[in-house]
Chain A
Amino acid sequence: MKPLALFALHRGTTRHWAAQRVTAVLLTPLGVWFVAASINLFRSSREEVVRWADNPLSLVLFSTFFLVAYWHAALGATEILTDYIHNPARRSVVKNVIYFVLGLSLGFGLVGLFLLARG
């Protein structure tokens, strides 16, 4: 594949393939940062997490990691569905259910993040 073909996003499957790679490349450094930043975070008190979220750099990095991770998750889930659910109607139903659950969970996470950042 020519490198420029990455930008020729005129076909659904090509776009999916490229988006999966772009999100993967973004998630590599963001993921390393997330692990380093969150090693002690999960056992911290609410006050400590609020203090952590008060730092604009960690808030921006975490939000980016969070959104790109959801995007990558949706792409990956779609790929698995394409491989294992061959009936198009059923695949579309399952896909919509998964997207709904992922969207809902993303919303819950963002609300929580907003509340924590507000203190």
Chain B
Amino acid sequence: MLTFIVRRGLWTVLVMFAITVLVFVIFFKTPGIDPVRQIAGRNPSPLVLAEIRHQFGLDRPFPVQYALMMKKLFITRDLVSYSNQGTLVIPEIFAAAPATLSLVFGAAIIWVVVAIAMGVGAAVLRGTVLDPLLMILALIGISMPVFWLGQVANLITQSRFHDTFLFSWVPPLGYTSLTQNPVRWFEGLVIPWIVLSVLYIGLYARVLRANLIEVQNEDFIRTARAKGLTERRVLLRHTLRNSMITFVSLFGLDFGVLVGGGALLTEVVFGIHGVGFLTYQSLTNLDLPVIMATVVYGAFFIVLANTLVDITYAWLDPRVRLA
């Protein structure tokens, strides 16, 4: 187990290094672009251009440029946004993190509960009309762009049906922090939670149903039945438990991606000022330092989450350690 962790840890470090190099190359070394102008934002003065050229060491060799950039990102953390007159980028990202975490945690709870209910329901009800019905619903969930679904939800809850008793409780778009007003925090996040979870409910319900049906044919299920266990116990303790392995590892990966910036479409459509929204704002302002920082930090988080998932997986299933 220890060798596995060390091996996996080394690969993680290597991937993180490679990601920083890749991001650096994309932003500074793409053929035909001038990084100074890109960092400077719109209509820069020659003074600013000269300062940037010096600050990022763009008149010096490649490794020095890379090292300076990494120092700004991780050690001194004094990367400055030029479009937004001198805002420090890294503290801004950390300030935005709670909103993203609130959004993703709540959505994760919903999608896990509903997906298990739908997957188990469809597998148990096989042969009835409900199974294909549930799976068609899941397929529709997978096929909807999340930002569009968010707009439709906004149209219903903020405009067309806002004055009815159904949605009069929905506050205007935006994010209220948990410490500031817990009730408002919850009310404001209910609709975004549901919208964000729809895609994952569809994905997970389909995967779980397929796994359940596959496991149902295994010999140990027959043994469990032969022992005289109740159907309910066979389903919950034997079939479902074994089917959850894929489910859990998928969950770890998706959760990491969403926290690392993957929730940006949902954040944008609901005006939740999280990490993804920060990326979006910097996209519209063409604020490259911010984009670079959110991408690197987001990617780091995702790589770290993947590592944790793999280690947990190896801990749960000894066969993986040897692969």
Q: Say whether A associates with B.
A: no
Where the two chains meet, the residues of B that have a C-beta atom closer than 8 Å to any C-beta of A are: none
